[in-house]
Chain A
Amino acid sequence: MQSSAIFKKWELGVPVSSLAVNGNGDWGMAALGDGGARLFDAQDASAEPKALTLHDGVSLSLKPDADAHAFLSGGDDGKVVIADPVPGTATVLAEHKNKWVDHVAGAADGKHRAYSIGKKIYILDEEGQEKFTADLPSSAGGLRFSPNGKRLAASHYNGISLWWLNAKETAPETREWKGSHLDLIWTPDGKCVLTSLQENALHGWQLVDGKEMRMQGYAAKVRSMAFSARGKYLVTSGAEQIICWPFSGGGPWGKPPLTLGGMDGRLVTQVAPHPKDEMVAAGYNDGMVVLAPLDGRMEIMIAPPQSGADKAVTGLVWNRDGDALYAGTESGTVMLFTIDSVRKAVVQAG
């Protein structure tokens, strides 16, 4: 029998709705379908996770907090919660009765936090005090700070809105494109914003000159997107293969995507590019997890597909050094892979 690439596995009994890693990259957190969460010490593979309660309902958005040590979560109980891995507590930052906090975001420079409730955006300063609020034309589909923390972008129906956080002017700049924009992502240099669309496509704007980009051909909505090490590729879910759009050397215009992994009917649901190496982890709708090198070499399966419904990989994150990978599934499993456990399995498989 082949040794498993999985170093450790926890059956939590409730669906993992999302996984995140904090800004420091030393803690991972899984938000669960019962409002609870598990904190994983990503520096110590042998440690057992700590349990805590985030929400009375369920977390709708889980992100690294502006405090690089912590996590930020918004829930359907109307609460914005900061989860601190040490000592393992959840503190309510804001509460809105009878509302859903759809999206939260923490700026990487530590200076701002933001969250959205339907069409309303709340921007908080360093102290957690409300700095300003803004109204969108329709509900926010995504909310993200630029990598340097100086700007905030929200996606919505028919386009995106952008704010400079330290400007006096709080009216947003907008970029338009017809359709329902879901989540968004900034390029690591902060020059472009891309959104995933309801119609299984991506749309992007180069902010300085408004030059646009369109990426199509997905089988499902792109629910997971991230940039590979040094911003070379935008790696995306939503197709049978892992779709990687080249962003180095003048941007993606006119270039075909790099496609990784097989085409055998399963769909990629989560992607996690390695933080340092030219490699991507991907999770599928049947629970399979692979590691795929970006140079086109054959991918390695590190978790096998599961039979039955509701097995999708719903969260996938690396720790800071890229020597531990966490995967969470709809069926309530969290798997930890370490570089050592993967290597051993590969060697034994010959």
Chain B
Amino acid sequence: MSQIPVTVLTGYLGAGKTTLLNRILSEPHGKKYAVIVNEFGEIGIDGALVVGADEEVFEMNNGCICCTVRGDLIRVISGLLKRAGGFDGILIETTGLANPGPVAQTFFADEDIAAKAKIDSIVTVVDAKYLPLRLKDSKEAEEQIAFADVILLNKADLVDAGELAETEAAIRRINNFAKIIRTVKSDAPLDQVLGLGSFDLDEILKRAPDFLKTETHDHHNHHHDHDHECGSDCGHHHHDHHHDHKHGHHHSELHDSDISSLSLTSDKPLDMVKFEAWMSDLRANKGQDLLRYKGILDMQGSDRKLAVQGVHMMMDGSNLAPWKDGEKRTSRMVFIGRKLDEKALRAGFASCAA
């Protein structure tokens, strides 16, 4: 059964979310979207159904305090699913102060919704000029970056190259794995925003070669030589030594955050039982601090790649495509979370070796 893809648009007030939404809706793609907004604003596009929803976050009554979902989304999406013909996609625009966690968890926790709809990506729009300020005064701005699959570094024309690079570095320290697109008026190519399947295990696997090849960005490393994919306007020529220095100096000011990213790799096959025990312990004890995680793993005794992904305590995993002949069998697990204990995570992952 095909599930309706859901794109979550987050970002601070004024960053350019609505501009992006209007761009998505007005492009001639012939697709039918339902849009869930918190306020009826300047959205008014023929052919799209716009629905208002009041953010209603509630705890699932299962003893897990991090297991919060958005009751309003359950209600609205259940209603949308009653419509004949359905939709090609659902776009959810959250308020500037929303934590994307409960939105993402709704699609894991509610079985009726999960059967019919699936998050495609979390897209966060940030204001290149004001993000450093937001990161200082709001934990939501950080969470929105931490949860993102795609980050639009918007209004890139309003800051100089140095500021832009610094802001990008600040984003990287929180989320080293999201794709960053530098934009003016939220003008990202839509194929880099929609239809990405970021929560889809098959899609994660399809990109396995990239995922496994990606160099680890050590989150303590302040160099600017990322190998992430930048927007077309990103020329990598603006990182000079002076800037590096300045950036290091600004670190504590810009980023008091305890959110960071960590990548773990192993060339040894893993033991399924050990890995499951480690992950379930981690989710039980640190679930609240684990914001996003993904992995492609080589399991002892299996010819297939195991793909896993999760949000907080909720994890999804399955054995998918086989390893190809001659393909290097590497396992990689990435985490974005709060107070990540790098040492313990590295040791835990290493102990999963068969």
Contact = CB atoms under 8 A, between A and B. Distances in A.
A57 B87 CA distance: 13
B110 interface: yes
Contacts of B111: 220-221
Nearest to A57: B83
A100 B84 contact: no
Interface string A191-224: 0000001110000000000000000000011000
A58 interface: yes
A32 interface: yes
Contact of A34 (B51, B84, B110): B84
Interface string A27-54: 0000011100000000000000000000
A58 B72 CA distance: 18
Contact of A58 (B60, B62, B79): B79
Given A33-B82, A138-B71, A157-B71, A309 B1 contact: yes
B342 interface: no
Contacts of A139: 54, 56, 71-72, 75
Given A57-B83, A58-B82, A98 B40 contact: yes
Given A139-B71, A178-B61, A199-B61, A60 B56 contact: no
B58 interface: yes
B82 A15 contact: yes
Interface residues of B, number: 24
Contacts of B72: 139
Given A14-B84, A17-B82, A309-B1, A102 B75 contact: yes
Interface centre among B52, B62, B79, B111 (most CB of A within 10 A): B79
Interface in A57-89: 57-60, 76
A180 B1 contact: no
A102 to B, nearest CB: 7
A138 B61 contact: no
A231 interface: no
A58 B76 CA distance: 12
A179 interface: yes
A138 B56 contact: yes
Contact of A118 (B54, B74, B82, B110): B54
B79 A76 contact: yes
A102 B58 CA distance: 19
B84 A60 contact: no
A185 to B, nearest CB: 19
Nearest to A223: B112
A35 B111 CA distance: 25
A99 B71 contact: no
A196 to B, nearest CB: 12
Interface of B: 1, 40, 49, 51-52, 54, 56, 58, 60-62, 71-72, 74-76, 79, 82-85, 110-112
